[in-house]
Structure 1
């Protein structure tokens, strides 16, 4: 990585932003972009995509203002190390950067305008084992990094990736700690239902089955803030609005 001392009025052909600061560091470049319209659809490789602040990539199934999983960034080095076929990791952005070295709370700028917030490492789930037995365990933390879009713009294959000196709150790779983070943000006098809790914590809806046991371990104060779909609790439901502005 090398620091970039950029004159706001200059342009060197790398689509640098006019508001990069002296603390910006060039990490690498985007090798490829993919968009998937729905779960059953085949991901489409594109040369450019529009990133919507607070939402994700336009026309992508993971575009969701309430999700910390708007983008999946994968590393070209992981493909080389594990001899994977193209797009095996189901990423949106393929980078020539080792995503395992990236940390939550880091802000990256892609090209001249798009900024993303790194959230947490994507778990290597069992679905990967359908491609190769034992792949999930072998990948470990090299599946990729999840991110949210915080500034809109067009992302283009080949764009430079800059690490900015801005830092935002870090989120844990541990799903249990993310659940606690969300519960701590529930406004007084409100509750959050299990499905919404899973969504804003960035975990699969199947984990809702584990919530009663986890909430019991967290204690009465936390347990009282989350409710299943069928409940007699009549308190207003919080949908997670404003969570990512504060946490």
Structure 2
């Protein structure tokens, strides 16, 4: 696999800006990008040039950070990709096709469906450049579901005992917009009392400690992952 192109969205920028290289920061995201956030599973978006070709989209219509010359849709969550000599990213879950994509043409979001790309976290930092080789190291880290309901439950399942989490942070850790917080009471109630009691509004009073999401993602690779003979695929 090869990196076909790169782009960044600095704070305050509405559109992706093409660049020749990016600095990835381990556990944080892209240096200088508006989505750099240690507590987020959405640090960068990877898309495939095949989607552009199949749907006839304008450049950067998917608003990706990394465009790969090879489809990545079939790679499972938890897969780690090495980019260039050092940087590594962890595939998290499929990026939903939001309505903003329709700014690039009628029904673009509907046409894309589940092919917008894959969201990822930075496991190992480094500078990446257009044309770099991308190597599939395999599914080295735990998988995250595409369904946001399941991700909310997964975050709560990871919480330490005797802790609660505020709705806004729960949304951030699950990789969804804060507007989804309105749906949390009903969703958590449907999951059962164990879940309903673990998430609270910001102003709610609780005798339990509020959890900050520490160690939720644990982007720690097995010791052999950085060794040359651990690279499973190279094309």
Check whether TM > 0.5: yes
User: Structure 1 residues 203, 232: CA separation in 2 closer, same or farther (over 3 Å shift)?
Assistant: same
Work out whether residues 120 and 171 of structure 1, in 8 Å CA contact, stay in contact via their aligned partners in 2: yes
Check conservation: 1:102, 1:145, Cα contact below 8 A: no
* TM-aligned CA deviation for residue 43 of structure 1: 2.4
Contiguous gaps of at least 5 residues in structure 1: 1-27
2:48 alignment partner in structure 1: 75
Which of 194, 197, 202 does residue 229 from structure 1 map onto?
202
TM-score by length of 2: 0.90
The alpha-carbon deviation at position 165 of structure 1 amounts to: 3.7
Work out whether residues 99 and 142 of structure 1, in 8 Å CA contact, stay in contact via their aligned partners in 2: no
Find the aligned partners of 1:160 and 1:130 in 2 and give their Cα distance: 32
Output the TM-score relative to the length of structure 1: 0.85
Q: Distance in 2 between matches of 1:47 and 1:156?
A: 6
Kept in 1: contact 2:141–2:219 (CA 8 A): no
CA contact (8 A) 2:48 2:117 kept: yes
* Cα distance per residue 1:24-49 (max 9 Å; x no partner): xxxx1001111111244442211111
Deviation >4 Å, runs of 4+: none
Residue among 193, 199, 203 paired with 2:166: 193
**Conservation of the 8 A alpha-carbon contact between 1:104 and 1:170:** yes
| Rounded Cα–Cα distance in structure 1 between residues aligned with 2:118 and 2:154 | 19
Matched, 1:51 2:21: no
Aligned residues: 220
- Quickly say closer, same or farther: Cα 1:44–1:181, change in 2 above 3 A: same
Counterpart Cα distance in 1 of 2:108 and 2:15 = 21
C-alpha distance in 2 between matches for 1:177 and 1:81: 30
Q: In 1, distance between residues paired with 2:53 and 2:84?
A: 25
Aligned pair partner of 1:173 in 143, 146, 168: 146
**Contact 1:106-1:168 at 8 Å conserved across structures:** yes
What is the aligned counterpart of 1:216 among 179, 182, 189?
Answer: 189
Instruction: Supply the RMSD in Å over aligned alpha carbons.
Output: 1.5
2:60 and 2:117 map into 1 onto residues whose CA distance is 12
CA distance in 1, matches of 2:206, 2:138: 44
